[in-house]
């Protein structure tokens, strides 16, 4: 099975745009909810992702970002 590199090249801007939306949502949630209880952070993050039109994120990734925002907000990848 071979991969057409033009398909890969065409997908890169789409993936990058989606990741930028996720990053904005995480940054916004961190700035408003850093150190708060996970039960408050996760719904805020879900809302921020929806606001960015980036709700298609693996639930475990949302959970991990919410946990880090709650417990260790300075230890995020961006």
pLDDT per 10-residue tile (average), the chain, 78 residues: 76 95 97 97 98 96 97 88
Report the pLDDT value the prediction gives residue 78, as an integer from 0 to 100.
Answer: 77
CA 37 to chain centroid, in Å, comes to: 18
Q: What is the pTM of this model?
A: 0.87
Which pLDDT does position 16 carry in this prediction?
A: 96
pLDDT at 34: 97
**pLDDT score at 1:** 54
Give the C-alpha distances (Å, rounded to integers) separating 15 from 1, 10, 18: 23, 10, 5
CA distances from 59 to 1, 2, 10, 56, 69 (A): 31, 31, 26, 9, 15
Beta-carbon contacts of 49 under 8 Å, excluding residues fewer than 6 positions away, are 21, 22, 25, 55, 57, 62
CA distance 8 to 34: 36
């Amino acid at each position: 099975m071979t991969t057409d590199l033009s398909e890969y090249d065409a997908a890169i801007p789409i993936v990058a745009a989606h990741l930028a939306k996720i990053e904005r949502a995480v940054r916004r949630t961190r700035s408003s909810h850093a150190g708060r209880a996970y039960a408050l952070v996760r719904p805020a993050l879900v809302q921020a992702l929806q606001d960015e039109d980036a709700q298609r994120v693996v639930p475990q990734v949302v959970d991990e970002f919410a946990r880090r925002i709650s417990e260790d907000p300075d230890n995020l990848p961006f």
